[in-house]
Every structure is written in C-alpha cells, then in structure tokens.
Structure 1
Amino acid sequence: MAALFSAELLKLRTVRSTWLLLLSAQVFTLAGALGPVVSGDDVSDPGTWSRSAAHAGLAAMFALVLGIFAVAGEHRHKTITETYLAVPLRDRVVAAKVVAYTAAGLVFGVAAAATGFVTTAVAVKAKGGAFDAADTELWRTLAGSVAWNAAFAAIGVGVGALVRNLAGAVAAALAWIAVVEGVVAVLLGDDLARWLPLAGGQALAGMGGGGLSQAGAGVLLAGYAALIGVLAAWTTLRRDVA
C-alpha cells in the first residue's frame, strides 16, 4: 500500500490538472471572501469574517473534481489498464487513491483556508474594520472548510470509479451540487435535507445545515466518503477495465 500511495502522490504532483484546480480554488476563494466585506456588511462583526472565510469550504468543489480525475481521468487517458496490470488487486488501487486524494484534499483545504483568512483580514482592514485574528468562530470555520475539502476529494474518487466517463462524472457531481440537491431538499424538507452531502459540507464550514452540528457534519461526510468508497471498490472488482 505504501508503494501505491507514493505512486498516486507522484501522479498528483506531475499532472497539470492538479495545479490548475488548486489555482482555480484559490481564485474562487479570494473572490468569494471579498463578497461579504465589500457588499456593505459590518466589517467589525466576527460573523462577517466567518461568512467571508467560509468560501474556503466552497472551494471543495474543486477538490471534488480532483478526486473524480483519480479514476475517471485514468479511464479517459487509457492508463487504467497499465495501473491494474501493475497491481491486479483493484480494491487496493482504489483504496490508495482514496487515501492519496484525501491528503490532496487536505492540501487544497489548507491553501484555500489561508487564502480566505488573508483575503478577509486584508479586506476588513482596508474597509477600516477591526479584525481579530484569534477569533474562535473564524478558526472553527477555517478548520471545517479544510475538512470539507478533504471529504469531497475522497467522495470524488468514489464517484469517478462509479461513473468512469470523466465528463459524465464531473457533470453529474456538479449538477447534483448546483441543482439536484436543492430540488431534493425541497421535496424532502429541512429535517431530511440536512443529511445531504452539500448541506453537510455547509454545516461543517459553519454556513448553516439545518441544525446539524459541525462534528455531526464531519461524521456525515466521512460516512458518505466511506460508503461511496466501498461501493466504488466493489463495482471496480466486478467490471471489465474497458
């Protein structure tokens, strides 16, 4: 497993998509973090700082796409055959990808959290507000945002293994986030909608979540990642490579 993990980290470091997604996540976080501050919210209110910094959590969409590339990207570029020939135990390949891409998601989260923190601090100071870098709620938001990125990266690996067409997997995942979960939430009602993945991520970053605690949201997303990972490993063992 250690050799597989190292191989996945090498792939992550040497493909352009990793760096493009990482850069895009920072741009998204920076633009989003500026919103609450420049829109006229009270810049001395700690709640404004948390709302700004929480965009580091929303950058998890880029970590999700990164995770999808782990398996679906290999199918697109026809490299998955060589991977499985080198390691016939496919479940170990999936497990190594989940671990490696979860670690990459943590890196995405830390980078986005740093961008969100610096952007919020600079914007607040520029607007003449008093910024407290030690605010507890702000750091809870940032920590939750990092965890959200890691969880969505792991979920992305599972989605990419289940839906092996890269474009289809990315489109399905983003459609769920942008449209489907909202529709499902309306149908289910708030009490059930809070258990959906995006709502869990939002609760983890302190952006709501229908009363779900931050710890509960973390357990929820970990459960989603584990469930989808198990399904991905199970289906991978039973499918043809092509």
Structure 2
Amino acid sequence: MTALLNKTALVTGASRGIGRATAVALARAGAYVLVHYGRSAQKAESVVAEIQMKGGRATAISADLGTSDGAALLAKQVRSIVGDRLDVLVLNAGISKSAAVADYTVEDFDKLFATNVRGPFFVVQQLLPVLGEGSNIVVISSLVARMVVGKPGLENPSILAYASTKGALETLIRNWAGILGPSGIRVNAVAPGVIDTDMSNFTKTEAGREVALGMQALKRLGKPEDVADVVAFVVSDGARWITGASIPVDGGSKL
C-alpha cells in the first residue's frame, strides 16, 4: 500500500493509542511521519523505531499543546523538517477527565479546552502556510460529541466537559472545511466509540466493558488500528470527495 508515497504527515499525540496506530498506518501507506509527543519521549521514539524497522520514515518531535505557545513551537519544528509542504495533519492529542458535575473545577475545564480545542485551533492556524492544494486535516473526535454515554446523574461521574471539547471540535471541522475548501484542503473528523487504549479507563473494568458491548452492534471492543485504518483512508485520494464530515468508527454504537 503506497497511497501516501512521498507525502509528509504530522500526527499529534502519537506516542500511544490511536495516535501511535495512526502514525504506523500512515507510514505503512508511504508517508514520512512526524511523531508528535508531549512528555512520553521514550514511547515516541519506540514508534519511530517500529516504523523504521518496517522500512518507513519517521521523526519524533515534542511540544506541549496545552500551553499558549505550544502550537507555534510545534509548527516551527514541523516547518523546519518538511519545508514548504505538509500533506497530512492528524489532530489526535487530547486529555480526558471523569467526575461528578459538582467536582469539576475551573482549572479542570480550562485545561481540557486548552489542550483539546485551543491547541488544535492554533496548530491549524500556524501550519496554514505549509498546507495547500491536496492537503488533508483529520481531527480525532469522539462518539461522545453527539451521544451521552454511561449512566447520567448528578452523583455519577461523567465526561461531559471532555465531551463538550469534542463538540467544539466538530463545529471547527465544518468551519475549517468551508474556509479551506476553496484552497483544495479537505478537513474531516473521525469519531471513535469506545476504544481499548491506555487512556480509556472505561475498558479496564468488567462493568465498563459490558456497557460498551451492550450499546454496540458489533460485539467487541474497538482497537486503535480500527480507527487508524479509517484515518489512512480519509487522507487518501480514495476519499477525495469527502470534506466537512464526521465519520463514526464505533462498532455501530447506539443504533
């Protein structure tokens, strides 16, 4: 598979989970992949090593996208490596929090929006000079942007603040698609359901797994590769007439 041969790609939050699987999938398709990480240098380097071992090309780069200058620092590194052309931008980096409504703090809320919404917004802004005709942006959204999961209740832990960041991203996707479309840049979201990753505490308990399987048509937990393969398709020429879309990758959840 060489759909992305001679293409350059950046995957944010690529040291683990969906980001890692996506970086590997894009490299397998032929892209030179920039593996972004926030703090997990060793894990990011292991992704690079895995890609190189399979004959691909990759470089690890670091920036804290939760800080006010994180996007600019990341863009500077990217531009120094790729020059004047970035073909694929996958915005995957994000954080989550589960708590009862009364237990959320202003600091929790601000941190979630800084990393999950402000970071992607300014990464796109800062990288616009190297995005052009034929470039693709994919945002990793979530099932929770459109559906309430778990057991709603004031006393029950929920991820409503995290979910609201994903809702904000879905709004950005449609606006970016409209604004950047005349320049030949496609923008889409991929919206996973429950995926078995390090970040997903939901899949670590029997009760959580039962809830996840109970709301799915396909009775298994999702894997990072299930999402990564869809991302690889969306940024390929096979999806050339798709933009402004949010594609569910959730095993048929809540049909």
TM-score tier (shorter) = 0.3 to 0.5
Q: Which has the larger radius of gyration?
A: 1
- TM-score, normalised by the number of residues in structure 1: 0.34
Q: TM-score, normalised by structure 2?
A: 0.32
Higher strand fraction (1 or 2): 2
Identify the structure with the greater helix proportion: 1
Higher RCO (CA < 8 A, seq sep 6+):
1
